[in-house]
Amino acid sequence: MEKDRAATNTPAPPPGGGIYPLIQVADPNGKDGAVMHVFRPWSLMEAQAAVQGVTPYQQDVMKWMVDIYDVIQSYRLNGVEAGQALQSSIGKNWARVRGGYTGRNRDGQPFPYNTDLDSEGITGDYKHQLEAVFEKMKEAFKKKPNYSELNSTKQKQNETVDDFRVRYEEAFKTHSGIPEDDDDMGVYQQQLKQGLVQNAKKELSDWVSKHFVNLPSAGVPQTMEWLKHADRG
């Protein structure tokens, strides 16, 4: 066991049977940028502090999931510690999405953070329990579209097409209720394209809709070129 731990540069846990997260700190004996991993106690207050910078799930549940995953991996939390972090971040809605999450295996032991070099850390039943919480979070707090806000975000008379795009894309990201996606033919990009055309100045929108025969299958970049061409004309 000690030989295996040395091979992965993982220190032995402290005695006493308590719950200790393995965290990454600067290695004072190493070169610049070198790190080492140490155990230290983990309290509910520390869990609350660790999730302070996490994106609020009410604002963007997808980003919240990424941030929480990063917290678990940064601190190398075991299943119970991850549960404390989740509860601290979700607050009063924890009971609503907890489901069967315990952070423990069938023997009642906390799921360990897998420190194998080729592992992502969160594996097996630990990963399954965490993903089940994420699925419940996505269902409970998915974005709802605000069409009135989108329809009121129109190109101003003296606003360039590029400036309008920046402003509309920000509104679309916040109010469309559609998960962000870079796929040109995906729902997000296609709906964004339609919104840009419909909310551009009327003369530009009408011209592009009439002359750009490939509009239904075009992506946002190509559509923007046509809007700018119409603006120059």
10-residue mean pLDDT series, the chain (233 residues): 40 45 53 58 73 88 91 89 93 96 95 80 94 94 87 95 96 88 93 97 96 96 96 84
Q: What is the CA radius of gyration of the chain?
A: 24
The pLDDT of residue 20 is 53
DSSP characters over 97-150: H-TT--SB-TTSPBPPP---TT--S--HHHHHHHHHHHHHHHHHH-----HHHH
Residue spans per domain, the chain: 22-141, 147-232
Same fold, 22-141 and 147-232: no
Instruction: Quote the pTM value.
Output: 0.56
Torsion angles phi and psi, residue 221, rounded to 5: -60, -45
CATH architecture type of domain 147-232: Orthogonal Bundle (1.10)
The pLDDT of residue 227 is 97
Tell me the residue length of the chain.
233
Residue that has been written with the tokens 């002359």 in this structure = 211
Contacts of 53 (CB under 8 A, 6+ apart): 67
Q: Return left, alpha or beta for 124; rule: phi > 0 is left, psi -120 to 50 is alpha, else beta.
A: left
The pLDDT of residue 17 is 43
The pLDDT of residue 90 is 95
Q: What CATH class is the domain 22-141?
A: mainly alpha
